[in-house]
């Protein structure tokens, strides 16, 4: 099978209502590693958590095993230990944590590991599929059939996260993978995008005949046009 060429573009925006951007992302086309994090915590602690999560993950990530699922989950677990240790030892960082979604592309497969409600999507053949399941109270209620996906969009518990990196001594992140085909797009993003932009609008933008940079900028602009209530981060990965 011919090896696909992977390219990417990412951007983050503070939005219209926040004083600090607590999102952080990394795109590394050399390692084929892509990270998006959305920090939480008082003062500037969320900003610290998201940055430390991404930079520490990148430092830890070395391809020394064929077990990609173990590699990614071990990196998240070690990042969790670093952030939790900082949170309990430094008073101004107490309670900090972050979502994290990591994507590693190799051998025409996207390997994805995540904790929290930052998401990974696959856009293929004009269809958009969410690859990750949110670790949130409303996502659990949707999966159990108590509320619909549409009802979840405006639910009062919408922002209650059930799993995050750094908030507990140990973490069990989710892992999934997805075979890649030519012209596939992978979108990694924080809830600052998905809370402001409906999935059908995301699908429409990703389907446009534009560069991946232009499409990322259109997604962020639409999130701001719809209110920009949170920081907004989007990373778009293209297989050609």
DSSP state of 145: T
Report if residue 202 sits inside a domain: yes
What pLDDT is recorded for position 161?
A: 86
What pLDDT is recorded for position 152?
A: 67
Total tally of structural domains belonging to the chain: 1
Sequence-ordered list of residues with C-beta below 8 angstroms from that of 206, at least 6 positions apart, any chain: 123, 128, 185, 187, 215, 236
| Domain limits for position 122 | 6-239
Question: Any bridge partners for residue 129, and if so which?
Answer: 122
> How far, in Å, CA of 181 to CA of 124, rounded?
8
Report if residue 92 sits inside a domain: yes
Residue 189 phi/psi, 5-degree rounding, is -160, 160
> How far, in Å, CA of 171 to CA of 175, rounded?
13
Question: Any bridge partners for residue 100, and if so which?
Answer: 37, 115
Cα 173 to Cα 144, 162, 201, 219, 234, distances in angstroms? 20, 12, 29, 27, 21
Report if residue 232 sits inside a domain: yes
pLDDT tens digits for range 60-105: 998 777 799 999 999 999 999 999 999 999 988 988 999 999 999 9
Report if residue 18 sits inside a domain: yes
DSSP state of 3: P
Strands (E), 127-195: 127-130, 174-179, 185-189
> How far, in Å, CA of 57 to CA of 50, rounded?
11
Sequence-ordered list of residues with C-beta below 8 angstroms from that of 42, at least 6 positions apart, any chain: 94, 95, 96
Tokens in use for 64?
A: 């020394």
Report if residue 16 sits inside a domain: yes
Residue 102 phi/psi, 5-degree rounding, is -120, 135
Q: Which helix (H) or strand (E) element contains residue 178? A: strand 174-179
Report if residue 33 sits inside a domain: yes
For CA atoms 194, 77, 140, 131, the dihedral sign is: positive
> How far, in Å, CA of 60 to CA of 149, rounded?
36
For CA atoms 156, 129, 148, 198, the dihedral sign is: positive
Helix, strand, coil % in the chain, rounded to nearest 5: 30, 30, 40
Strands (E), 84-179: 97-106, 109-115, 119-124, 127-130, 174-179
* Residue spans of the chain under pLDDT 70: 1, 42-43, 150-152, 156-158
Tokens in use for 184?
A: 């596939």
Strands 109-115 and 119-124: unpaired
Q: Reduce the DSSP state of residue 19 to 3 states and report it.
A: coil
Report if residue 1 sits inside a domain: no
What's 205's domain CATH number?
A: 3.60.40.10
Report if residue 42 sits inside a domain: yes
pLDDT tens digits for range 193-202: 999 999 999 9
């Amino acid at each position: 099978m011919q090896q696909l060429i992977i390219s990417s573009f990412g951007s983050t925006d503070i939005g219209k209502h926040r004083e600090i951007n607590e999102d952080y992302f990394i795109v590394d086309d050399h390692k084929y590693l892509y990270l998006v994090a959305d920090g939480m915590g008082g003062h500037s602690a969320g900003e610290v958590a998201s940055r430390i999560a991404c930079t520490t993950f990148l430092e830890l990530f070395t391809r020394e095993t064929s077990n990609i699922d173990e590699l990614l989950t071990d990196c998240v677990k070690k990042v969790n230990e670093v952030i939790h240790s900082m949170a309990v030892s430094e008073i101004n960082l107490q309670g900090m944590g972050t979502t994290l979604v990591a994507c590693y592309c190799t051998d025409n497969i996207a390997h994805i590991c995540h904790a929290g409600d930052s998401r990974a999507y696959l856009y293929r053949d004009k269809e958009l599929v969410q690859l990750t399941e949110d670790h949130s109270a409303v996502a659990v209620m949707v999966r159990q059939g108590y509320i619909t996906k549409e009802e979840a969009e405006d639910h009062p518990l919408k922002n209650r996260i059930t799993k995050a990196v750094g908030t507990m001594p140990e973490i069990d992140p989710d892992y999934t993978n997805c075979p890649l085909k030519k012209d596939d797009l992978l979108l990694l993003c924080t809830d600052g995008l998905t809370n402001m932009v409906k999935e059908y609008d995301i699908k429409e933008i990703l389907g446009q005949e534009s560069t991946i940079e232009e499409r990322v900028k259109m997604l962020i602009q639409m999130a701001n046009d719809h209110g920009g209530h949170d920081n907004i981060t989007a990373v778009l990965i293209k297989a050609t």
